[in-house]
Amino acid sequence: MMLENELELGRLYYKPLIVRVDKSDDGKQVRTVLERKLGVSRKLLSQVKLTEHGLTVNEQRVYTTATVAEGDVIRVRMLREQSDDILPEPMPLEIVFEDDDLMIVNKQAGIVVHPTHGHYTGTLANGVVYHWREKGERVRFRPVHRLDEDTSGLVAIAKTSYVHQQLSEQLQAGTVTKLYRAYVYGCPKPHAGTVDAPIDRDPLEPHLRIVTPDGYASVTHYETAASFGNAAAAVKLKLETGRTHQIRVHMRHIGCPLIGDKLYGPKEAAVSAWEEAAGRQALHAETLGLTHPLTGERMVWHAALPPELASLEQTLKGI
């Protein structure tokens, strides 16, 4: 049976990160051991050391500069947080994975990931916060990456600051796999290749992105999965960087804008049967792969093509 103080710690803190000091770390500072063993950032350590039970060795509070001996047990406890600024709102969620540390959601098109100006409710964050409240969990909403409102597919959400930090570093290192499927006007030439074209805001229309020599490095790999005459194609894409609207901008850049894309699609085109079938920009984040920060396991998830894009593909096959 858990001791009363352990129950209280569980109410106040997330499950601790635990390191047992081995011979190779005997005599080293706590921060050195945690950085080497867990990759804990200086920022996180500066936060946890301010709380009574945030950083302990053998359950005794210590500073990050304290030295440890072989056999010591270091515990890092992060205070439980919740998103008090996000209104809990019931909504259907397709949760493809969840444990104490991580959640993967298959987001529907038409849903914004996080509340923004003009979108305070009806976002993925509202639904996820409601889900956690119903489960009795105090968790802050921390998306590791985002999808555009009208893009469907897999989104990773960290449930602690440590997991968010670790997954953000994986993103920066390029070890997170993000594969997309898009339906575009025309057929890319060549059928497979890499778009290496810097992206930045359009100075004339700041809500849009453009390819510009002075932009941020942006790399998209693509492969044509199917072509429908010369009129349209299904394309598989892999992101090497994650700029806002990157796929949409890069596909327009090579002359193959996404079907149904109101911002970057052909301006002169009337609403076609293709766009009616899709009902939105034809882009879906179908595969997500990452290494779980706590277990070290490489995990991969897949999201089936949503009905509206399956309908679009059937329409295109009839060309």
Residues in the chain: 319
Q: What is the pLDDT of residue 269?
A: 56
Q: What is the pLDDT of residue 268?
A: 61
What six digits make up the tokens of 142? Answer: 């921390």
| 288 three-state secondary structure | strand
Residues 137, 102 share a domain? yes
Q: Is residue 88 part of a domain?
A: no
Residues 207, 162 share a domain? no
What six digits make up the tokens of 64? Answer: 């990050």
Residue where a domain stops, chosen among 47, 76, 105:
76
96 within 8 A of 303, measured Cβ to Cβ: yes
Q: What is the pLDDT of residue 3?
A: 43
Beta bridge partner(s), residue 183: 234
Residue where a domain stops, chosen among 143, 167, 191:
167
| 133 three-state secondary structure | helix
Q: How far apart are CA 257 and CA 263, in angstroms?
A: 10
In single-letter form, the type of residue at position 83 comes to: S
Residues 54, 186 share a domain? no
Pairing type for strands 17-20 and 73-76 reads antiparallel
Residue where a domain stops, chosen among 167, 196, 214:
167
Catalytic residue (choose from 72, 148, 150, 261): 148
289-292 long-range contacts (CB < 8 A, ≥24 apart) are 289/176, 289/177, 290/156, 290/167, 290/170, 290/175, 290/176, 290/177, 291/170, 291/175, 292/101, 292/102
Domain tally, the chain: 3
For the stretch 70-93, pLDDT in tens is 999 999 999 999 898 999 999 999
Q: Which residues of the chain have pLDDT under 70?
A: 1-4, 268-271
Q: CA nearest 114: which of 85, 139, 138?
A: 85
Residues 198, 136 share a domain? no
Residues 148, 23 share a domain? no
Q: What is the pLDDT of residue 271?
A: 56
Q: Is residue 23 part of a domain?
A: yes
Pairing type for strands 152-158 and 283-291 reads parallel
CATH code at position 146:
3.30.2350.10
For the stretch 105-162, pLDDT in tens is 999 999 999 988 877 899 999 999 999 999 999 999 999 999 999 999 999 999 999 9
> What's the pTM value of the predicted model, to 2 decimals?
0.90
Q: What is the pLDDT of residue 112?
A: 94
DSSP label of 29? B
- What range does the domain containing 46 cover? 4-76
| 241 three-state secondary structure | coil
Q: Is residue 213 part of a domain?
A: yes
What is the dihedral sign for C-alpha 126, 132, 134, 138? negative
Specify whether 99 is catalytic.
no
Q: How far apart are CA 143 and CA 127, in angstroms?
A: 13
Q: What is the pLDDT of residue 121?
A: 93
